[in-house]
Amino acid sequence: MTNEKASVLGGPFTFPGTSLTVNRLGYGAMQLAGPGVWGPPRDVDGAIAVLREAVAAGVNHIDTSDYYGPHVTNEIIRRALHPYPAGLVIVTKLGARRPADKSWQRATSAEELTAGVHDNLRNLGLEALDIVNYRVMGAGHGPEEGSIGEQLSVLAELRKKGLIRQIGLSNATAAQVAEAQTITQVMCVQNNYNLAHRHDDALIDDLARQGIAYVPFFPLGGFTPLQSSTLSTVAARLEATPMQVALAWLLHRAPNVLLIPGTSSLAHLRENLAAARLTLSPQVLSELNGIAAG
């Protein structure tokens, strides 16, 4: 990895207590599946090209899950990148399943979690998973309080067996993070957060003090892209796109924030990666911080 690539992609972050180091701007694979995150994409060769260009550009953190598709994104990742380049960190998720009706259902029993690990290993072509996030499935996909101790204990046992190297959380509350830390070391927390959705501000700061990664999903608003006249005005002034400014703001938010914007388009991939080159002045940051308040 050249210094130029490292600086372009937000600089390095090392997961706490490990030798796993990634550039802060990574890639999320969910959009490589078909519509509704179901079935294969219309253009499999295009999906492969996006993955290969991302890695060639210095991306070494890919986020996925075997329930995307299901199985589709992992199979495409394997086809595009296996044997994997040294230093590539693949992070996956457990806690959900996709039955034939295309719904999203919880998969939280010991048997389901164990089967999920083996599905990921098989479809990614790995002997051990770098990081596995337990995804809390609340109502309507949102967070939901409640004990996750039983599920984290299962993952901790799978880690002892060597099938998982590290453990993280997704869609988790501060209380669930604290509970998880009584069972195992938590590498990262992946929650819904962006310029307009800032409910996790206190959690991000707490994790930053501990050196734990915070990974925003829906960094650009998800299925309802961020819309803000302030964002558009700032972007025009910086000769950037609103989405680039929104990503750059996240990189400025805290040093433990890692980004995994997803796309199935080479043009959008290049646009996303270029966001790491944007420098936002204190005045611009103040303007953007006002969006959530508004």
Give dist(CA 259, CA 176) in Å, integer: 22
Which tokens is 8 given?
């372009």
- Out of 27, 67, 68, 84, the active site residue is 68
221-to-133, 217, 287 alpha-carbon distances in Å: 21, 9, 18
Give dist(CA 175, CA 117) in Å, integer: 25
68 is catalytic: yes
Beta strands across the sheet bearing 164-170:
27-28, 61-63, 89-94, 129-135, 164-170, 186-192, 213-217
The residues assigned a catalytic role are 68
